[in-house]
Structure 1
């Protein structure tokens, strides 16, 4: 019976991987491998899939430095990965650790390290071993006040800009933790039990303890998210146009992408903006680092979302120095590569009057709110400003990022093929009248 169950599990996981991933391409699929039961089962199942589908597997293990046994756990993960024919790389969360909010900080550091390693290897997808039990525990934690997001089988990397162009795939999200351990036992494979998972100081440990008496509860799949129709959002240079009928989820995602930040707006702040949208009149509001210019229903009912240029004055940061040939992400929205030394990038806000005549003429063709948030190249001494398109390769990340956030990239082949994380030729990548 155990062999039959293992075979059925393998079939389900193969279907989940086939639905999202390409076959017979040289690019690796990354896999987060802690050495725990969930990730070890994922490694075993993904190895079988990769071998059958002509893919390379890259296992990534993060040592958080929080347990004296973690170096040994990393060595065991390395041995297991290489025994199964996967490449392996160890990653370390170095430096001081926070005294409060440690689980959230560790999760953020883990995703950052995984994203950087996956991108460096050319991967577009990272597999993680989250299970139906994790989804149920997350429900419990949110009911207790946690802001932890709901797990989805296919979602963008949660770190920005390190995770640009990357998706997370959770092919075990409909499987129970026990079923995976039964699979490992049947296969003669062992795993590590991290004592932190049962530590009642942390919300995850409390959730597991609270749910231990309800094992008979059937795991529920994460709630599906409605995909907005493509016509509800349009690109504009450096910003987005969203129709007023868009949902709160769409508006929040558009705001964080247009603003270049990494935390979607929630709660009362989002609710107040939604109220203004639903009132029907023209309005201007800020949300998630973006400014929303809302026309009234009689004016077409559109909202233009652009970078809130006023934040450059409120939170000034020095110009970003650029290294020739190395792509740099500026303001969370543009990826810029220069080929000559001696340049920095800064916002157009406060510099527009000093731009060349052709640049100023180009700016006049754009929505006024867009202009101050566009990238300008200046010399290292601050002189000779010019719109970045005139001296560099510029890729806008807003459109591809929003497409991933709103489930418009359902397959690996739909993801950004550019090595530096932005889709070539997307409508946000060019500036009208600038050559």
Structure 2
């Protein structure tokens, strides 16, 4: 896929040609013109090219936010039945938040689409976002910040599992509706699309009066991709990870290109702070001035303590605001935005900081490829235990695999990092190395593990290697922007 305006038919043909096959595609369809057009365009193209070995299924998410939404979902189901396309209605159950409803609905929608994709055995998900949506998003972000935005990504990895692709992102809504009229097909108009209480509707009306407001998306995307690649190289050359908890930027790394340092340091802040976004421009300016200064010291930004010393800049999660998490049997959850946990035991597991109890350590077993958090009597026995228990498996000492003695690290920085480590307990009794139940606990990258745009893929994948976690799933395309993946 590449950011060039094209007709809907051309866009779909190019998309299917680039798609790795055989493949089963889940089409997210609401019944609106964009998603209905996407379904019919794909159905037409797939039937015309059986040699591609591509099949379709579909899902409609009923957010249950207004009267009539269930009837609309059933209309879409009837359309899919008439086309011979398997379809599921996924309902957003439970209470709805009083504020931030659009963001919450988006989270719920993609979670439900992923469930449907799992059920249907789909390989990827496609949505009907158009060039009109792209322009609106760019305008909305332009109101909030003066930073250049890459807008809606054409490919996003959700939950490390399913790639969400947007083949019509550079086709216009008007052209899609023209196609639907040509086919004699109708669509459902969502009344919320005309409700000016929503920012997107207000922006849409402004853009209608200013049709010339466009941006060079190709140049913006190329810049983001270059930053991701340069940031990955920066990680290799200038970043070290100690014990899976303490980051270190080497002195030379703080003297690199400003744009690359901003990109890498901002995303590392999100990772170590358990936040989905890098700090804002004001905080990043403060951080850059501090990190490139000559005076040793400490500062906090994005829930991360930055400790500047002669041998580099150390990063660790600050001790404040780390809340406990209880994971019920058979369930999974994200603790502090930094660790993903799955409880395979028969009892609820509580995850808290090491500072709450005693110092803790992480080790990854070769069998499960997942770290465990276990109690230790003191720091010295912790160091001995980590060496003994990780023999033959993953060694969370440094990103280079060196068995560096933790005593060589700055004591205050290391103590701070260890205090932010997770400990596990069952019914208020701390777990011992001998009684560890089947619990998976692994690093979670808040800026990437829920939604990873293809622009950040190279950097995120290199970060996975640094933390010795599994690589991210590659996009299911033969090439992007004319380049082989």
CA contact (8 A) 2:130 2:168 kept: yes
Q: Distance in 1 between matches of 2:62 and 2:76?
A: 11
Q: Distance in 2 between matches of 1:48 and 1:293?
A: 59
Q: Return the match for 1:372 from 409, 419, 429.
A: 419
Structure 1 counterpart of 2:139: 140
**In the alignment, structure 1 residue 31 sits paired with structure 2 residue 33:** no
Q: How does 1:3-402 map to 2 (within 5 A)?
A: 9-16=8-15, 18-19=17-18, 21-25=19-23, 28-48=24-44, 52=49, 53-118=52-117, 125-145=124-144, 150-157=151-158, 163-215=159-211, 221=217, 223-224=220-221, 225=224, 226-229=227-230, 230-233=232-235, 236=241, 237-238=244-245, 243-244=253-254, 245=256, 246-279=260-293, 281-295=295-309, 299=311, 303-312=313-322, 316-317=323-324, 319-323=325-329, 326-342=331-347, 344=349, 345-353=351-359, 354-355=375-376, 359-361=382-384, 362=386, 365=405, 368=414, 369-386=416-433, 392-398=439-445, 401=448
Comparing 33-42 with 390-399, greater Cα deviation is found at 390-399
Structure 1 counterpart of 2:455: 407
CA contact (8 A) 2:150 2:217 kept: no
Q: Which has the bigger relative contact order, CA under 8 A and spacing at least 6?
A: 2
Deviation at 1:118, TM superposition (A): 4.1
Q: TM-score, normalised by structure 1?
A: 0.75
Deviation at 1:343, TM superposition (A): 5.7
CA contact (8 A) 2:276 2:448 kept: no
Q: Distance in 2 between matches of 1:180 and 1:255?
A: 41
> Cα–Cα, structure 1 residues 241 and 385, in superposed 2: closer, same or farther, change >3 Å?
same
Q: TM-score, normalised by structure 2?
A: 0.68
> Cα–Cα, structure 1 residues 15 and 107, in superposed 2: closer, same or farther, change >3 Å?
same
> Cα–Cα, structure 1 residues 262 and 186, in superposed 2: closer, same or farther, change >3 Å?
same
Deviation at 1:349, TM superposition (A): 2.8
Note the residue ranges of structure 2 that are not aligned, 5 or more in a row: 1-5, 360-374, 387-396, 398-403, 471-485
Deviation at 1:74, TM superposition (A): 0.7
1:168-195 deviations in Å (ceiling 9; x for gaps): 3222111111111112222332211112
SS state of the match for residue 187, structure 2? coil
Q: Distance in 1 between matches of 2:454 and 2:305?
A: 20
1:49-86 deviations in Å (ceiling 9; x for gaps): 66653344342322222332211221122223343343
Q: Distance in 2 between matches of 1:87 and 1:400?
A: 34
1:296-321 deviations in Å (ceiling 9; x for gaps): 5xx3xx54444334332xxx33x423
Deviation at 1:142, TM superposition (A): 3.0
SS state of the match for residue 59, structure 1? strand
SS state of the match for residue 284, structure 1? strand
Deviation at 1:347, TM superposition (A): 2.8
CA contact (8 A) 1:135 1:221 kept: no
Comparing 72-81 with 328-337, greater Cα deviation is found at 328-337
Comparing 117-126 with 186-195, greater Cα deviation is found at 117-126
Deviation at 1:239, TM superposition (A): 5.8
- Point out 4+ residue stretches in structure 1 off by more than 6 angstroms: 146-149, 387-390
Q: Distance in 1 between matches of 2:261 and 2:447?
A: 19
1:319-360 deviations in Å (ceiling 9; x for gaps): 423425x55443333333454433623333333345267645
CA contact (8 A) 1:228 1:406 kept: no
CA contact (8 A) 1:235 1:427 kept: no
1:85-116 deviations in Å (ceiling 9; x for gaps): 43322222344444544434433433343345
Note the residue ranges of structure 1 that are not aligned, 5 or more in a row: 1-6, 158-162, 416-421, 431-435
Instruction: State the number of aligned residues.
Output: 397
1:365-413 deviations in Å (ceiling 9; x for gaps): 5561442333333232333355998964443333993794573547xxx
Comparing 378-387 with 201-210, greater Cα deviation is found at 378-387
> Cα–Cα, structure 1 residues 264 and 405, in superposed 2: closer, same or farther, change >3 Å?
farther
SS state of the match for residue 335, structure 1? strand
CA contact (8 A) 1:256 1:263 kept: yes
